[in-house]
Amino acid sequence: MNYEYRDGQLAVEGVSLASIAASSGTPTYVYSAGMIRERYLAYEAAFAGMPHQVCYAVKANSNLAVLATLARLGAGFDIVSGGELFRVLKAGGNPATVVFSGVGKTPEEIRFALEHGVHSFNCESYAEIDVLNHTAGLCGKVAHIGLRVNPNVNPITHEYISTGLRENKFGIDSSAIDAAYEHAASQPHLRVTGVSCHIGSQMLDPSPMVEAVDRLVTLALRLQAKGMPIDHLDLGGGLGVQYQPNESTPSITSSLAALRALVEPTGLKAVVEPGRSIVAEAGVLLTRVLYRKNNGGKEFVIVDAAMNDLIRPSLYKAFHDIVPVSTLNRPHMQVDIVGPVCESGDWLAKSRTLPELASGDLLAVKTAGAYGFGMSSNYNSRGRAAEVLIDGAAFQLVRARESWDDLLRGECLP
Ligand code: LLP
């Protein structure tokens, strides 16, 4: 299943994108439920026959309909805030399958998670261990925790999304991890049941993950030998997806086979936290051409989506393939595709060769299902885009486009 041209129209499952633009307008994020299920089930299949829990990383795309699609398949969830847990609960997710990650959980968020009985917390510092213990005591609960190890392994990705190096703020340095476990294990309201890591995102080569998991296994066995009740290994997320048309990406199945080979002999439960590899390719951002403009010989195509809708190109210089929604038999030209926001950094693509575009043409920004809508903002007082979910031959508006009244919600005159 994929986005492909049928009779000259870009379509996925049984729906053409032009029909969505006609009914929901632009800019609109479009997601394929079928593709999301397919990717999730590839994770499930990779661990079939051994104890495991696939915890979808909510931050990648937290739309309720996306979460509900996964919850109905029995997915677990990786969350990094109370707000994400609130969404998971509203989507029908089971809190007993939720792992709570992140470097800055507040006591209120911890309490909310404890009250709902989340599976475990991935804890990232001594200070957090103490707050977790104290909060669990106040709630009359025992919190199940794992410590997130910073294994100092280079994930070979963009510096902003590398998390497993000593210079990154994440995890507890491997040289201090045993002492941190001893400290956690001595707290009355904590039970140390896990070991976790997440070294980075958009990894096109899974071998750094294999190296990190190898270290995780050694640590888990050492802690078990000290009598700690370790029962799961959380391997994090991070598998890369195809952004460039001819980029070769690791398959979910083969990458996980290498990780499974390390974990299965331990008898421990494998937890994974994939985000991007489940939703990125399942989503596109639909946008319409507003104007063409030539500035001193440089061709610009101004579209109605902007950096506030999809910040990845501006923030990471990320490449997203952009294609016309209808095949256009026109001469090709080189253009920059830019949005209406008042910043030169507001671009979606630079120096792309595309058929000559005209006002009203529809474009699809591909591989936009992860870290697209979730990172969008109201900059320049632009309402956030609509979101549509396709499932088979049907599609549904799963988030209405924000109105001008929505922009003012919570504000008042002095
Ligand atoms: N687990 C933890 C603890 C994480 O921090 C992340 C992502 C994941 C799992 C999911 O990783 P994934 O499978 O999606 O690679 N905004 C950036 C990506 C930031 C990733 C942050 N952490 C982007 O647009 O590329």
Atom of ligand 1 nearest to the CA of 273: 9
Which residue has the CA at smallest separation from atom 23 of ligand 1?
371
Same domain, yes or no: 296 and 247: no
Same domain, yes or no: 338 and 387: yes
Buried b (16+ CB within 10 A) or exposed e, 332-370: eeebbbbbbbeeeebbbbeebebbebeeebbbbbbbbbb
- 391: Cβ below 6 Å to ligand 1? no
388 or 248: whose pLDDT is higher?
388
Asked if the structure places residue 316 within a domain, the reply is yes
CA of 293 from ligand 1 middle (Å) equals 36
Which residue has the CA at smallest separation from atom 24 of ligand 1?
371
Q: pLDDT tens, 68-88?
A: 999 999 999 999 999 999 999
- 314: Cβ below 6 Å to ligand 1? no
Same domain, yes or no: 306 and 177: no
For the segment 211-216, the average pLDDT, to the nearest whole number, is 94
For the segment 220-239, the average pLDDT, to the nearest whole number, is 97
- 60: Cβ below 6 Å to ligand 1? yes
In this predicted structure, the answer to whether residue 164 has a pLDDT above a threshold of 80 is no
Q: Which residue has the tokens 């919570």?
A: 410
Same domain, yes or no: 353 and 250: no
R_g of the chain, CA atoms, integer Å: 22
Asked if the structure places residue 78 within a domain, the reply is no
Asked if the structure places residue 200 within a domain, the reply is yes
Same domain, yes or no: 247 and 286: no
- 43: Cβ below 6 Å to ligand 1? no
Asked if the structure places residue 90 within a domain, the reply is no
Which residue has the CA at smallest separation from atom 7 of ligand 1?
201
In this predicted structure, the answer to whether residue 258 has a pLDDT above a threshold of 90 is yes
- 161: Cβ below 6 Å to ligand 1? yes
Same domain, yes or no: 240 and 307: no
CA of 60 from ligand 1 middle (Å) equals 7
Best substitution site from 276, 277, 365, 376 to test ligand 1's pocket, by max atoms within 8 Å of Cβ? 276
Same domain, yes or no: 113 and 259: yes
- 280: Cβ below 6 Å to ligand 1? no
Which of 52-61, 238-247, 298-307, 382-391 has the lowest average pLDDT?
A: 238-247
Asked if the structure places residue 264 within a domain, the reply is yes
What rounded mean pLDDT belongs to the chain?
A: 96
- 371: Cβ below 6 Å to ligand 1? yes
Which residue has the CA at smallest separation from atom 22 of ligand 1?
201
CA of 47 from ligand 1 middle (Å) equals 21
Asked if the structure places residue 73 within a domain, the reply is no
Out of 228, 243, 272, a domain closes at 272
pLDDT score at 382: 98
CA of 263 from ligand 1 middle (Å) equals 22
CATH code (residue 342): 2.40.37.10
Going by pLDDT thresholds of 50, 70 and 90, the confidence category of residue 166 is: confident
Asked if the structure places residue 292 within a domain, the reply is yes
Same domain, yes or no: 301 and 383: yes
Q: Residue 333 is part of which domain span?
A: 4-30+281-408
- 113: Cβ below 6 Å to ligand 1? no
Q: Domain tally for the chain?
A: 2
Out of 272, 303, 330, a domain closes at 272
Q: pLDDT tens, 325-368?
A: 999 999 999 999 999 999 999 999 999 999 999 999 999 999 99
Same domain, yes or no: 379 and 301: yes
The answer to whether residues 335 and 290 touch, using CB atoms and an 8 Å cutoff, is no
Same domain, yes or no: 252 and 286: no
Looking at the chain, the whole-number percentage of residues with pLDDT higher than 70 is 100
Which of 7-11, 112-116, 165-169 has the lowest average pLDDT?
A: 165-169
- 124: Cβ below 6 Å to ligand 1? no
Atom of ligand 1 nearest to the CA of 80: 3
Q: pLDDT tens, 106-122?
A: 999 999 999 999 999 99
CATH code (residue 231): 3.20.20.10
Asked if the structure places residue 40 within a domain, the reply is no
* 342 assigned to active site: yes
Same domain, yes or no: 168 and 316: no
pLDDT score at 7: 96
CA of 88 from ligand 1 middle (Å) equals 17
In this predicted structure, the answer to whether residue 165 has a pLDDT above a threshold of 80 is no
Out of 240, 272, 304, a domain closes at 272
Going by pLDDT thresholds of 50, 70 and 90, the confidence category of residue 169 is: confident
Going by pLDDT thresholds of 50, 70 and 90, the confidence category of residue 156 is: confident
pTM summary value: 0.97
Same domain, yes or no: 291 and 264: no
226 burial (CB, 10 Å; 0-12 / 13-18 / 19+) is exposed
